[in-house]
């Protein structure tokens, strides 16, 4: 943890001071020059710092821009989808989430609760398994996520056979659903959100208790979510 703290401190110093010598960084961190150099080498390998034109000086690398761009894109998506998600939550009466692919999981970045969802789980920031969630299935179907080596079972309804996930059908239909596959008593339906280049970058989903979001309602809600997903896609730059 100490090395992580020091690496973060280096990035903050370079952001504040610009190109800085190893000796000055070592002094600022109160560590030996060799320790500062090792930290810089690790950050350089990750593209987070680079040597400037002045010999012995380091500056922030392009990797920081890449990470910042990814964070900004997610913030833009959360911001631009918020109004649509609130309207969808009101329309279907259930909790609506936007999820993005990250490290093999569907990670929820925003949530809006409908009038029927008086109390419910806060999914924001949580990693959810791709094969057992409607958002995850959408991302799998459009190659935004890769299938895990093993499909873990969460309930008796969880699909653990890749052939039964119906990914081709999800692409054709335009939305995916789960029926008590992650949690007993919880159903969900999701549709793909497109980025400016036409690739699927996220999914918008509605989830609710199985006695309310019944299998019979899924096609209706699926079409509503697909329309909402198209609107969000346009708001973040996708035009077709």
CB-hemisphere CA count at 13 Å for 115? 5
Question: What is residue 65's predicted lDDT score, i.e. its pLDDT?
Answer: 58
* Residue 138 domain-assigned (yes or no): yes
Cβ atoms 206, 94 nearer than 8 A: yes
Q: What is the pLDDT of residues 152-180, one digit of tens each?
A: 999 999 999 999 999 999 999 999 999 99
Picking from 41, 60, 79, the residue at the C-terminal end of a domain is 60
Q: Which residue has the higher pLDDT, 70 or 184?
A: 184
One domain for residues 126 and 13: no
**CATH code for the domain in which residue 27 is found:** 1.10.10.10
pLDDT at 239: 59
Residue 240 CA to residue 227 CA, distance in Å, equals 14
Residue 78 structural domain: 70-235
Question: Measured between alpha carbons, how far is 126 from 109 in angstroms, rounded to an integer?
Answer: 8
Of 38, 60, 82, which closes a domain?
60
Provide mean pLDDT across the span 69-76.
Answer: 55
Residue 240 pLDDT:
60
pLDDT (0 to 100) of residue 68 = 57
Average pLDDT of the segment spanning 189-196: 92
Token pair recorded at residue 46? 């990750």
Distance of CA 195 to the CA centre of its chain: 13
Tell the burial category of 215 from Cβ atoms under 10 Å away from its Cβ (0-12, 13-18, 19+): exposed
Q: Is the pLDDT of residue 224 over 90?
A: yes
Q: Percent of the chain scored above 70 by pLDDT?
A: 89
pLDDT category of residue 15 using cuts at 50, 70 and 90: confident
C-alpha of 185 from chain center:
25
**In this structure, are 92 and 166 located in the same domain?**
yes
Query: What pLDDT shows up at residue 79?
Result: 79
Q: Could you give the CA distance from residue 45 to residue 59 in angstroms, rounded to a whole number?
A: 13
Closest to 109 measured CA to CA, from 138, 68, 146, 80: 80
Q: Is the pLDDT of residue 72 over 70?
A: no
In the chain, the number of structural domains is: 2
| Predicted local confidence at residue 121, as pLDDT | 63
């Amino acid at each position: 943890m100490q090395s992580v703290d020091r690496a973060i401190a280096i990035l903050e110093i370079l952001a504040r001071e610009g190109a800085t010598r190893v000796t000055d960084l070592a002094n600022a961190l109160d560590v030996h020059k060799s320790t500062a150099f090792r930290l810089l080498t690790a950050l350089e390998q990750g593209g987070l710092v680079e040597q400037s034109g002045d010999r012995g000086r380091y500056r922030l690398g392009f990797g920081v821009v890449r990470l910042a761009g990814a964070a900004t894109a997610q913030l833009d998506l959360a911001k631009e989808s918020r109004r649509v998600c609130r309207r969808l939550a009101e329309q279907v009466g259930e909790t609506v989430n936007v999820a993005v692919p990250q490290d093999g999981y569907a990670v929820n970045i925003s949530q809006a609760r409908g009038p029927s969802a008086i109390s419910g789980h806060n999914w924001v920031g949580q990693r959810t398994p791709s094969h057992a969630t409607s958002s995850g299935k959408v991302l799998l179907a459009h190659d935004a996520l890769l299938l895990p080596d093993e499909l873990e079972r969460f309930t008796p309804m969880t699909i653990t056979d890749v052939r039964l996930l119906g990914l081709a059908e999800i692409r054709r239909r335009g939305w995916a659903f789960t029926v008590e596959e992650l949690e007993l008593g919880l159903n969900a339906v999701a549709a793909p959100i497109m980025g400016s280049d036409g690739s699927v970058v996220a999914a918008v989903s509605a989830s609710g208790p199985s006695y309310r979001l019944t299998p019979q309602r899924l096609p209706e809600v699926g079409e509503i979510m697909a329309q909402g997903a198209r609107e969000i896609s346009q708001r973040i730059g996708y035009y077709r």
